[in-house]
Amino acid sequence: MSSAAGPVLKQPVKLACIQLASGADKQANLQRAAEHVEKAAAKGNKIVVLPECFNSPYGTKYFPQYAETLLPSPPPAEQAPSFHALAKMASDNNVYLVGGSIPEFNPDTKKHYNTSLIFGPDGSLLASHRKVHLFDIDIPGKVTFRESDVLSPGNKVTIVDLPEYGKIAVAICYDLRFPELATIATRQGAFALIYPGAFNTTTGALHWRLLGQARAVDNQIYVALCSPARDVNADYVAWGHSLVVDPMAKVLVEADENETIVEWELETEKIAEPRRNIPLNTQRRFDVYPDVNKGKIQFEEP
């Protein structure tokens, strides 16, 4: 559904990306995430974001090992410790929590997914997003990765309504490279595109910041990218550099590669002004590009 009014941020809101250093111990990762969510909340952040695969190392061999079964929802505690830890982090700290992503297993279909769980301040699950575009690339001598060896893709654009603030869109890492998903989310009224992600030292150096700025300027809304901290001893070395970009594509805050929290207050007028001054929203020519999906099609997921 297209939002005639465009993206709306109802009031200023502080957003934090936690650039978490995580390792092989899931319980320790959850504990560390909880400590950082508490720190971010204590500084007034109301939307807190964790990185992709924050509860495990990132790699196809790890997905089945760390996967949790998330259905039925809410799942039994022993089946989904990360789900329950995230719910508690959100409710203990009264924040909206974009819970990075975790590997998910659906025992009915026998499929694995890379899934982000989004919780409200009361600890209830508001939405989940399964990575739509799987990270299958081969840059010889640099980085080869095939998520599709193990994972299945999600098949929807994920918009989450935060009643006091407005709508956010959540997608995961490689999804950032696909502008269509971002523009559909924007037309549905999202004021921010939030991507837990884990680019690497090859593609991160080339494209992470550029893509964050590109999605922001394409859509004239905020973009937040949340990476794990870099661990040079990991199988997959994350780029780090979590950042927040404004609707004019200015990078407002950016981490280096170390564990840290980046935060920024998002402002209503910072969205409204560029949209008044450069009114892309009313100038689109869908008559010239009729193959563009105007965001009406949503697929149900099992």
Ligand X SMILES: NC(=O)CC(=O)C(=O)O
Catalytic residue among 17, 26, 52, 167: 52
Distance CA 27, CA 301 (A): 29
Question: Which lies closer to ligand X via its Cβ, residue 105 or residue 199?
Answer: 199
Nearest approach, Cβ of 196 to ligand X (angstroms)?
10
Question: Which lies closer to ligand X via its Cβ, residue 33 or residue 134?
Answer: 134
Cα dist from 222 to 31, 62, 145, 165, 214, whole Å: 29, 32, 29, 13, 11
131 annotated active-site: yes
Nearest approach, Cβ of 58 to ligand X (angstroms)?
7
Catalytic residue among 17, 46, 53, 131: 131
Question: Which lies closer to ligand X via its Cβ, residue 48 or residue 198?
Answer: 198
Nearest approach, Cβ of 198 to ligand X (angstroms)?
5
Alpha helices in the chain (DSSP H): 26-42, 62-66, 81-93, 179-187, 203, 209-219, 268-277, 280-283
Using CB under 6 A as the criterion, which residues of the chain lie in contact with ligand X when the complex forms? 135, 173-174, 177, 198-200, 203
DSSP readout, 75-137? PPGGG-HHHHHHHHHHHHHT-EEE---EEEEETTTTEEEEEEEEE-TTS-EEEEEE-SS--EE
173 annotated active-site: yes
Nearest approach, Cβ of 149 to ligand X (angstroms)?
14
226 annotated active-site: no
Catalytic residue among 167, 173, 257, 270: 173
What is the set of active-site residues?
A: 52, 131, 173
